[in-house]
Amino acid sequence: MLIQRGRKCQGFAQEPPLTLALSPPLRGEGTGLREIESVLDGDILDTTVGTSWTDVPTEKRMPWSRGQVEERQRMIGQWEAGETPTKLARQFGVSRQTIYTYIERWKELGEAGLEEGSRRPHTSPRKTSLEIERALLSLKDRHPDYGPDKLVVLLEREGMALPAPTARDILRRNGRVEARRGRTPRWSPEREPIIAVPGPGHTMTADYKGQFRLGNRSYCYPLTLADPASRYVFAVDGMPINCGRTARKTFERVFREWGMPDQMVTDNGAPFCVSQSIGAISELGRWWMR
């Protein structure tokens, strides 16, 4: 039977727990075997922390070297009372080097030495030099409309290399970057629909669904007319060209069969709209209004 850690395979619950029993050795002359008085008997438990099939209680002590000042003060008190750093390291769950470190800081700074110190490195070899920062700010003052991408090019001409993201951080840190005005949020139909459709038969939509090439190498422009409320499609006609005159025949047939809608909804593309005309009304749109 296969048993995987953290999982119970089929048939595992029905079998008895695994046991280990040491039977007494055979007695005999010349065997050279010793007689064992006691026999070990019991369940074998995996005492590894984190396994899912052991009930052995385990206590895991977290290190106190992350801001627990009271624990450090207690450690110093025990050290002054004569405890060794080795025993203190075992008791508080830290390394001996940590014990020595805080003992030295206690001797040098007192109570302040037990506080959590800054983790900032003492040196930063890759930090931008003050000379390059001053040159960048000087270029920004001379060219206030330039961004970091253009300014780093001017720095390269002066023999100074600086990545654009770093230049952007330097300009922002020195207050040389103005926050852009937020963009106007786009309209969403979830907030307020622009077009109201009371019900079926009130509105009709028209759209060309994109051209595709036929087997004779000519293009087909499918024109669709539908009711947005009921999702009923009135017509899907393949047109040889995207033109209002050819599309008018489809509209005439649909209007005679289903009647005229109260409003037409289309996109701003041809032949429904023409940007050069007044109100972007096309010839097909004028025919609808008549």
Question: Residues 61-68: what's their mean pLDDT?
Answer: 52
d(CA 151, CA 142) in angstroms, rounded, equals 10
The terminus-to-terminus CA distance of the chain in angstroms comes to 85
Q: Which two tokens stand for residue 281?
A: 């009304």
Give the pLDDT band of residue 187 (cuts 50, 70, 90).
low
69-80 and 85-92 are packed helices; what angle lies between their axes, rounded to 10 degrees? 150
| Residue 89 and residue 71 in contact, taking contact as beta carbons nearer than 8 Å | no
Q: Is the pLDDT of residue 256 over 80?
A: yes
Of the candidates 144, 178, 138, the one whose C-alpha atom is nearest the C-alpha of residue 158 is 138
pLDDT of residue 64: 53
> To the nearest whole number, what is the mean pLDDT of the chain?
75
| Residue 231 and residue 218 in contact, taking contact as beta carbons nearer than 8 Å | no
β-strands 203-208, 263-265 pairing: parallel
Give the E-state strand segments of the chain in sequence order.
203-208, 212-213, 219-227, 232-239, 263-265
Question: Residues 35-54: what's their mean pLDDT?
Answer: 43
For residue range 193-225, what is the model confidence (pLDDT) as tens digits? 677 888 888 898 988 888 888 888 889 999 999
Report which of residues 182 and 64 the model is more confident about.
182
Q: Is the pLDDT of residue 151 over 90?
A: yes
Name every residue whose Cβ is closer than 8 Å to that of residue 43 and which is 6 or more positions away in sequence: 17, 18, 19
pLDDT of residue 42: 46
Give the pLDDT band of residue 72 (cuts 50, 70, 90).
confident
pLDDT of residue 192: 64
pLDDT of residue 169: 92
pTM of the model: 0.36
d(CA 167, CA 136) in angstroms, rounded, equals 7
Distances (CA, A) of 54 to 5, 7, 32: 11, 12, 39
